[in-house]
Structures are given as C-alpha cells and as structure tokens.
Amino acid sequence: MNTKIPNILLIYTGGTIGMIKDYRTNSLKAFNFKQIKDKIPELNLLDCSIQTVSFEDPIDSSNMCPKYWVKIAEIIENHYNKYDGFVVLSGTDTMSYTASAISFMFENLCKPVIFTGSQLPIGDLRTDAKENLITAIQIAATLENNLPIICEVCLYFEYKLYRANRTTKVNADQFEAFHSPNYPQLGESGVHLNFNERVIKKVDQNKELIVRKNFEASIVVLKLFPGINEQVVKNILEIPDLKGVILETFGAGNAPTTKWFTDLLQKALNNNLPIVNVSQCMSGSVRLGHYETSNQLKKMGIISGKDITTESAVAKLKYLIGEKIARKDFKYAFETPIRGEMN
C-alpha cells in the first residue's frame, strides 16, 4: 500500500514540446513551464506534487552536446534527495543520444528518470505533447509499497515506455517516433498503465548514487557503404587527436575484406584507437566471425557492439573513454552491459 505523495521534478531543456504559437506573429516561442498546470489542467488530477525547472536558454535538439548532458545530470543530482522521480523534456531528434548518455552517467540509480517530448508543440490543436507529458509524469510517480516501479533512465513516447539506451528515433512525421528494436518495451499506456516488470531493471535501494560526468568529445561514426574508398577511410581514421571510432558495418557486422581497408583498421588499432563495430541494421546483432567478411575484424580485436544502437554506442564510447579505462581492459568494458544497453 502506498501512503506517500510523490514529488516529481519536471526539467525542460528545450525542444518542440516546450513551444507555443504566437498567433499574432504566427511564430513559435518558448513556453513558461511555471504555468504548466494552467496550460494542462489535467495535471492537477495526478496524485503527485510537480515542480519545474527550465534551462535559462532552451537548447534546440540539434545543438545538444555533452556539456548539456552534464547540466541535466547535475540538476537531477542536486535535487535527487528531494524528489521521487524526474521527467526530462528535450528535443526528439537527439533524445536517444541524450537519454542514453544520462543512463551511463548514473550508477546505482534508484529513481525514475523519464525522457519525453513531442512531435507537435504543446499549444498545437492536435499536439501529442499533453499525453506524452501527463503519462511520463504518471510513470515517474508510480509507486509500489512506497518505492518506485521504475528505477532507470527511460524514454516514453506515444503510449510506449522504453529503456532509454535501447531506443532510436525512426520517424520524423508520425507520432510513433521511437522504437526499441532489440529490447522489449517496459510498459504501455492504454486504458490502464501496464508495466512489463520482467524486463524492468532491478536495483539495490541501499547503494549510494554515483554520477559520472566525464565524456570524451573526439570520436567519430564511420558508416560503411558500397564503394567507400581508401582516401575517405584514411582521412577519417587519421583525424588528429581522434580518441574512438564507431564503425557502422553491414548486416551482422560485415565489412570489406580489401587489404587497404584492413590495413587502415590495423594501423588505427596499433595506435590504441578503440573501434566499435555496430550494425547498420535496425534490429539484430553484430556476430563477429559468423561470416568470412567479419572474421578478419574479430581476429584484429575490433570491439563487438553486439545489439547496441548507434546512439547508445556513441554515448557509451564517450563515457568509457572519459572514464579513462585502460586500453587492455577497454574491449571487455565495452562488450559488458553496464546499464542494460546490450544483451
């Protein structure tokens, strides 16, 4: 039985959800979230207390970067003991990157951090913002025996609750904008709010929260395509001060077997540059050595991204390099799940 009224902190960083139309100029302007209950009176029906904090200068999704990831994490860290759950509003285009990064930053997280946003502004007649926001707050406030059901970083969008570091944005035009290709949804909003408790992360409530804030900026995503030439790959792998590479390969982790390509990869590896193999496919997993075209990569010591998304791989690579993991331990560290980001 639950006896406490949860306190929820709503954090607005920017994005479409926080915009309303100025009908005099027909342009969009940032919404004042201190007036959120005036705009969405349905929030008064929720059995929780809601406070808000906003970035002083809201960030467009395309401008999101590690310094803002740290800012979000610090807001949560500074309010962690005062609130029972957190809802973060951000732009959808880079939400999977941001939410994945936040998941890696919080070790021993024992409270819900729910990311959401919208495809249409909050003031639009047909907006999806209200449902996404109301339900995200309701999820963050859901308790069982006075403890939160969700104790991880999630992403809620269009009736579905996902593990954040398993998501990718799949549609720019439909309300169902996100998908979790390799992991089941954690919950669904219908007539009732249903949770798939079998796949929700279990935590030790007695462990102290640790917040990791070091990210390495200098990594690159190299997407392979038929006919990619030597000069392009060479120029990318020899970028000055490059610290890591996400190699987007074909199918189950396959890549060209031409000598110039493998020689360039080997040279990069010899220079202690970690290279992570992720699949270009929406779902499925990298299986190094399954085909001849990936067997050489396996022998070289290329890191398998398994079934991780590119967004999560970017965040994890930045995180692990920032944590200064020793090169001899790096492959094992990346290939080991730390926040449920891969199987």
The least confident of 40-49, 169-178, 255-264 is 40-49
Label residue 115 by pLDDT band (50, 70, 90).
Answer: very high
State the sign of the Cα–Cα–Cα–Cα dihedral 19, 20, 22, 27. Answer: positive
Of 40-44, 107-111, 152-156, 254-258, where does mean pLDDT reach its minimum?
40-44
pTM (2 d.p.): 0.95
Kindly report which listed range (85-89, 210-214, 288-292) carries the lowest average pLDDT score. Answer: 288-292
Residues annotated as catalytic are: 16
Structure confidence by residue, pLDDT tens digits, 299-330: 999 999 999 999 999 999 999 999 999 989 99
Q: Domain segments of the chain: what residues?
A: 7-211, 219-335
> Residue 310 corresponds to which tokens in the numbers above?
């590119």
Task: Identify the pLDDT of residue 122.
Answer: 85
The CA distance from 44 to 65, in Å, is 34
- The Cβ of residue 242 has, within 10 Å, a number of other Cβ atoms equal to 15
Burial 318-327 (b: 16+ CB within 10 A, else e): bbbbbeebee
Residue carrying the six token digits 């059901």: 149
Q: What is the pLDDT of residue 30?
A: 74
CATH code at 7-211 = 3.40.50.1170
Mean pLDDT on 247-271: 96
Please, which pLDDT band fits residue 38 given cuts at 50, 70 and 90? confident
CATH number assigned to the domain with residue range 219-335, chosen from the 4 options 3.40.50.11820, 3.40.605.10, 3.40.50.40, 3.10.270.10: 3.40.50.40
Task: Inform me whether the pLDDT recorded for 1 exceeds 70.
Answer: no
Q: How far is CA 11 from CA 155, 311, 326, in A?
A: 14, 22, 35
Q: How far apart are CA 318 and CA 336, in angstroms?
A: 15
Residues in the chain: 343
Span 42-62, average pLDDT = 93
Average pLDDT over the chain reads 94
Q: Which residues pair with 51 in a beta bridge?
A: 9
